[in-house]
Amino acid sequence: MQPTVFSNAKQIREEAERLGFSFCGFSKADFLEEEAPRLEKWLLDNRHGKMAYMERHFDERLDPRKLVPGARTVVSLLYNYYPEQKVAVDGAPKISSYAYGEDYHVVVKDKLFELLHFIRENIGEVNGRAFVDSAPVLEKAWAAKSGVGWVGKNANLITRTHGSFLFVAELIIDLELAPDGPLQDYCGTCTKCIDACPTAAIIQPRVVDGSKCISYFTIELKDEIPAEMAGQFGDWVFGCDVCQDVCPWNRFSKAHRQTRFQPQEAWKNWNSNDWEEITEDVFQRLFRESPLKRTGYKGFRRNLEFRKRTS
């Protein structure tokens, strides 16, 4: 392997760190042979519920060369979103900490575009695409393959120094870089995430039944929430952090420094009454750049009403 392959990797890692990424690793853009039967079984078992988009682009999910012709390397990057303080007014509706601030798709993709621009400016003409949870890419599989972390029993990517409150992103490029190897699994015999899941969605280590997850019901599901789920969500109305909150590795989580992820002063101290009285105009104004816009006002109101009926 040419020395430039290693020097290019060093340059990219240093720039990724400058841009605020906590981890950067490389893997050869190739077919994910081990993931293929796992994904197929997960879909055949209907673990994706009504997330029909998971059934599409099966081949693209497993082979990055189908997304970026001539792809040589998957650059996996992790961006920290662990909040300095949880938004937790006693008894109030809870929102997953990834959604406190501005939509991460926008924030992290801005960083990816900067990194891709740096590569082109400093290394040469490179073809590639940036991905942040918005295309058929098995992001956690690539991140684990590149050694930036390992997939824990809760199916989240975990690191030894920052825990798991990290957004996973990729550049898929046609530049050859020295690949990194995977880490070992450091979960050991711990089952805290499995034991703590309110809806028993973690059906076995590293396998989550998406159709049972609180995040699925409160974000992805567009229909009414099934009555049999009553009383199982606690105060969660958008996403759920339980399996991360109980993970021992998250004692090493460090507060992020991204101002765009900070919760707005306008709502972070709201109590139950404040949330229940939210109007559509206020929702649209406060959350127009937030992940909460994914549910829309109608969906968010459904979640609030379901919590109110079952709390």
For 84-102, letters b (16+ CB in 10 Å) and e give eeebeeeebbbbbbbbbbb
Q: Are strands 207-208 and 202-204 parallel, antiparallel or unpaired?
A: antiparallel
Known catalytic membership, residue 30: no
Catalytic residue, candidates 30, 63, 133, 274: 133
What residue has token string 């009383």? 231
Count Cα neighbours of 306 within 13 Å in the Cβ-side half-sphere: 25
Report the DSSP pairing between strands 150-151 and 157-158: antiparallel
Element at 173 (helix H, strand E) = strand 166-173
Smallest CA-to-CA distance from 129 within 177, 68, 76 is with 68
Token readout for 237 is 């109305």
Task: Compute the distance between CA of residue 75 and CA of residue 162 in angstroms, rounded to an integer.
Answer: 19
Residues 6+ apart with CB under 8 A from 293: 103, 287
Handedness of CA 115, 117, 122, 128 (dihedral sign): positive
Could you tell me if 165 and 253 are in contact, meaning their C-beta atoms sit under 8 angstroms apart? yes
**What's the CA gap between 63 and 138, in Å, rounded?**
9
Q: Are 73 and 176 within 8 A, CB to CB? A: yes
State whether residue 75 is helix, strand or coil: strand
> Where in the sequence numbering do the catalytic residues fall?
133
